[in-house]
């Protein structure tokens, strides 16, 4: 170990070539899958998405016979099966922040940018890999959440109609698939914030403030202001994709998701500009 006998290994036969976007993406995939925290957070996201669909479905199914007609009429089987998405977004968003802020806090970022000094391919690689991984996990999760919840609700009826929904009912496929898209965007939004703040605590605080703290605070505004502003807040806009029946003061589903996608794009664009300019 302390001798120079192993030194012939120093020279490689050939230099394998240049940095490409695909190679950086592969490297980012390796980084993503080799951290315990990432695996836990993704697992938590899946469990929350499915678990928090099944639990409320079970609760409502078990007390359906004792519920008042008004409660029964206001029960929303689709939204119930997507409650888990709004809880899982915390895990996914925090993970998005950590994927980049963790590199700053540990000093890994210096290794990363030494290997890829142009820097931007790293941001695109992280966003691409994390976005894809989140989508690939979120889509089956929301589907399982939906079908599991509806299976539990099946057999309970209101005015002679079974309350369980079918995937082909109007707006259902859009909401279920949209839930997975929303989660993916939440993750990327977190990634953008993590890259802007370069600090885990600051990134997570900003993420929580924007998605969870500011929306309820809007209630202090005059109703007309609140109704005008609230639909455009990131989480309200994005979650419109998971609602049916066009509720008041809510953007149309795809418009809302588009607005949230625009916020995400802005966050990542700011991150990209700063990444190019700042010292590491």
Q: Which residues bind other proteins (CB under 8 A)?
A: 1-4, 6-7, 9-12, 15-20, 23-24, 26-28, 30-31, 34-37, 102-103, 106-111, 113-118, 279-280
Minimum distance, C-beta of residue 54 to other proteins, in the bound complex (Å):
31
| 91-112 exposure pattern, b = at least 16 Cβ within 10 A, e = fewer | bbbbbbbbbbbbbbeeeebeeb
Q: 59 or 115, CB closer to other proteins?
A: 115
Judging by beta carbons within 10 Å of its beta carbon (0-12, 13-18, 19+), is residue 24 exposed, middle or buried? buried
Q: How far is the CB of 108 from other proteins (least distance, A)?
A: 4
Q: What is the largest CA-CA distance in the chain?
A: 84
Q: How far is the CB of 79 from other proteins (least distance, A)?
A: 37
Tell me how far, at minimum, the Cβ of 92 lies from other proteins, in Å: 19
| CB nearer other proteins, residue 108 or residue 217 | 108
Q: Which of 215, 219, 222, 220 is nearest to 237 (CA)?
A: 215
CB of 116 or CB of 210, closer to other proteins: 116
**Comparison of 20 and 246: residue with beta carbon closer to other proteins:** 20
Of 253, 258, 226, 209, which Cα lies nearest the Cα of 79? 253
Closest to other proteins by CB, 24 vs 149, is: 24
Q: Min. distance of Cβ 275 from other proteins in angstroms? A: 12
Closer CB to other proteins, 35 or 229, in the complex: 35
Least separation in angstroms between CB 277 and other proteins = 8
Please, which residues bridge with residue 157 across strands?
162
Cα separation of 264 and 230, whole Å? 17
Q: Following DSSP, what letter does each residue of 68-115 receive, concatenated?
A: -HHHHHH--HHHHHTHHHHHHHHHHHHHHHHHHHHHHHHSHHHHHHHH
Calculated CA dihedral for residues 193, 194, 197, 202, nearest 10 degrees: 90
């Amino acid at each position: 170990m302390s001798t120079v006998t192993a030194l012939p290994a120093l020279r490689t036969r050939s230099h394998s070539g240049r940095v490409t976007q695909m190679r950086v993406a592969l490297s980012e995939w390796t980084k993503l899958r080799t951290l315990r925290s990432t695996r836990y957070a993704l697992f938590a996201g899946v469990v929350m998405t499915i678990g928090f669909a099944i639990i409320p479905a079970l609760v409502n199914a078990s007390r359906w016979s004792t519920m008042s007609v008004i409660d029964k009429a206001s029960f929303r089987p689709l939204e119930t099966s997507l409650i888990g998405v709004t809880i899982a977004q915390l895990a996914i968003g925090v993970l998005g922040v950590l994927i980049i802020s963790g590199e700053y806090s540990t000093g890994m970022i210096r290794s990363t940018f030494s290997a890829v000094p142009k820097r931007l391919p790293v941001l695109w690689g992280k966003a691409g890999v994390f976005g894809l991984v989140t989508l690939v996990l979120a889509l089956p999760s929301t589907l399982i959440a939906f079908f599991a919840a509806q299976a539990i609700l099946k057999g309970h009826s209101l005015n002679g109609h079974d309350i369980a929904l079918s995937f082909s009912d109007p707006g259902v496929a859009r909401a279920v698939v949209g839930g997975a898209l929303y989660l993916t965007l939440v993750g990327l939004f977190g990634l953008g914030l993590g890259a802007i703040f370069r600090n885990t605590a600051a990134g997570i605080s900003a993420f929580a403030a924007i998605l969870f703290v500011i929306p309820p605070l809007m209630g202090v505004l005059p109703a007309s202001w609140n109704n005008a502003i609230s639909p455009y807040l990131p989480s309200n806009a994005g979650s419109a994709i998971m609602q049916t029946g066009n509720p008041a003061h809510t953007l149309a589903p795809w418009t809302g998701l588009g607005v949230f996608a625009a916020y995400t794009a802005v966050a990542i664009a700011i991150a990209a500009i700063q990444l190019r300019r700042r010292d590491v």
